[in-house]
Amino acid sequence: MEYKSSFFAGALMTLVPSAMVFCASGNQNNPEQVNDKTEKDSRPNILFIVSEDNGPELGCYGAPVKTPNLDKLATDGILFKNAYVTQAGSSPSRASFLTSLYPHQNGQIGLATWDYSMYQDNTPNMVNTLKESGYRTGMIGKLHVLPESAFNYDWWETQGSNFQRKNLARYAVDAAKFMKESDQPVYLQVNYPDAHDPFLPQIDGQPAKPLTGADVDPLPYFGITSDSLKQKTADYYNCMMRLDYWIGDLLEKVKETGEYENTVIIYIGDHGADMLRGKRTVYEGGVRIPMIISWSGGVKNFIYEGLVSTIDIYPTILAITGIKTPEYLQGKSLLPVINGSTEPVRKFLFTEYHVHSNHNPYPQRAVRNKNFKLIYNPVAGYENPGFFYTVGKKINKPDFYRALEAAPPLVREAYKRMQKPPEYELYDLRNDPYEWNNLADDPEYAKVCEKMKAQLKEWQVATSDPFIDKSIAEKLFLEIEASDEKKIEIKYHNYMDPHLIFEKEDK
């Protein structure tokens, strides 16, 4: 079977994480040496900050919102202008950046809260690799990936989502304590609940001066406007300002530990905003996120335009810490960019969608290059249930339709297309960054369309994507639809796991 050699079907199960590790500075696991000051491991700490449900709506990305701390972090390091997650949902996004595998490869295709899980508990990941190489591993906030036993944390505080934003001041205090008390270099992931739904205007006095609907326009990729969309956008910005305030507090407290200079700081959002054409879609509003990396060992005040993905974070950290990178990781090291390279890391970038909760299955694959984006809808012909999950549960329905009536025809068509997608959508992102005008059937773009389809197919083959067989996408869609929006076990491990499929076909 041709897929097998290119995937980790054999490699994943036999690979012991410690086998891929070499340490630049002696045996980090020997306690005698760790305690010996002359042998102190001087590799940099990794502080990985993840916020919830926000795209690049920061001042430094040009959004009309005040985020001075993240803006400063960006000028102290590298701002990745075109950064993406693999799927616009918390669990799939998080499992991907922790494993450097696409959701269809690791199995985390929907929310952990709805019992979606990785195929295997021995899936190699960033946490375990760093721990095995001598790092102390810590976490503040939610993991949201199953099984939790796949991740070996030495320390884990505030384990829930904390969507009520209780005691956000504690995050920085705990982080500084963890960093200070560690003799080893640390890897610490800090997860902030903003800007997740509910969009709380002000908590514990933050932001100090909340915006109101009168102060803002709706996000441009909504394409429609109304008073309630303005208010929602204002409160989303309020979340972003609060996030920025607490990240500023975190960075300040890390500075007080004396470890700041020897710490690689990585900041991302886990996927786009939970409003229209964002979260739970492969549109730019869903998959494009802010990414900033700041480190004393890297360049400063640098905006990188190339296409990057959060699956690049794991290989980047391995490159920085001198740990050998396993070949099957799907991401690319961004270390050359951190050193100032302007060269493209990749020509084509891939995103996908499966399901979030059982209200909204709709298998999708998307590929973009510098200028164009192709979306493939393998279950085209069926209505997308995610449309009325968003319009109805997240956005007031009558208000939405009133606003839509006043919108230009292309915008009205785009929403209709979202409700019942065609097999292919093609957008010219240079001239149409908000994806209104589908060019898939435009003869003038036939060549571009074919090239993108071929590229997508090549990637599906290389990553052992079960949806290369359309009927598997349909099977997943129909099985989840049959759940009637209830939380029941979806048995996709039995027919989507590439290990299972491709090993079986091998025999």
Site residues, Ca ion (CB under 5 A): 52-53, 90, 270
Q: Is the peptide bond before 195 cis (omega within 30 degrees of 0)?
A: yes
Closest residue by beta carbon to Ca ion: 90
In angstroms, the CA 138 to CA 48 distance is 10
Sign of torsion, CA 162 165 169 175? Answer: positive
Find the shortest distance in angstroms from Cβ 141 to Ca ion.
Answer: 11
Q: Count of CB atoms within 10 A of residue 447's CB? A: 9
Contact in structure between 69 and 241 (CB atoms under 8 Å): no
When the beta carbons of 259 and 270 are compared against Ca ion, the nearer one is: 270
Find the shortest distance in angstroms from Cβ 90 to Ca ion.
Answer: 3
In angstroms, the CA 132 to CA 19 distance is 10
When the beta carbons of 141 and 421 are compared against Ca ion, the nearer one is: 141
Contact in structure between 77 and 290 (CB atoms under 8 Å): no
When the beta carbons of 88 and 345 are compared against Ca ion, the nearer one is: 88
Contact in structure between 232 and 54 (CB atoms under 8 Å): no
Find the shortest distance in angstroms from Cβ 165 to Ca ion.
Answer: 14
Sign of torsion, CA 239 244 248 254? Answer: positive
**DSSP states of 299-354:** -SSEEEEEEEEGGGHHHHHHHHHTPPPPTT--S---HHHHTT--S-S-S-EEEEE-
Find the shortest distance in angstroms from Cβ 248 to Ca ion.
Answer: 21
When the beta carbons of 88 and 395 are compared against Ca ion, the nearer one is: 88
Classify residue 273 as exposed, middle or buried by CB count within 10 Å of its CB (0-12, 13-18, 19+): buried
In angstroms, the CA 223 to CA 412 distance is 9
Find the shortest distance in angstroms from Cβ 54 to Ca ion.
Answer: 9
**DSSP states of 145-210:** -S-GGGS--SEEES-S--TT-TTTHHHHHHHHHHHHT-SS-EEEEEE--TTSSS--S-BTTBSSS-
Find the shortest distance in angstroms from Cβ 91 to Ca ion.
Answer: 8
When the beta carbons of 99 and 133 are compared against Ca ion, the nearer one is: 99
When the beta carbons of 112 and 490 are compared against Ca ion, the nearer one is: 112
In angstroms, the CA 151 to CA 451 distance is 39
When the beta carbons of 143 and 452 are compared against Ca ion, the nearer one is: 143
Find the shortest distance in angstroms from Cβ 287 to Ca ion.
Answer: 12
When the beta carbons of 89 and 134 are compared against Ca ion, the nearer one is: 89
When the beta carbons of 111 and 391 are compared against Ca ion, the nearer one is: 111
Find the shortest distance in angstroms from Cβ 465 to Ca ion.
Answer: 24
When the beta carbons of 81 and 279 are compared against Ca ion, the nearer one is: 279
Find the shortest distance in angstroms from Cβ 463 to Ca ion.
Answer: 23
> Tokens at residue 97, please?
């950046």
Find the shortest distance in angstroms from Cβ 376 to Ca ion.
Answer: 24
Q: List the beta strands (DSSP E) in 27-97.
A: 45-51, 78-84
In angstroms, the CA 246 to CA 236 distance is 16
Find the shortest distance in angstroms from Cβ 93 to Ca ion.
Answer: 7
Mutual angle of helices 227-256 and 169-180, in 10-degree steps: 30
Closest by Cα among 340, 344, 345, 374 to 457: 374
When the beta carbons of 163 and 495 are compared against Ca ion, the nearer one is: 163
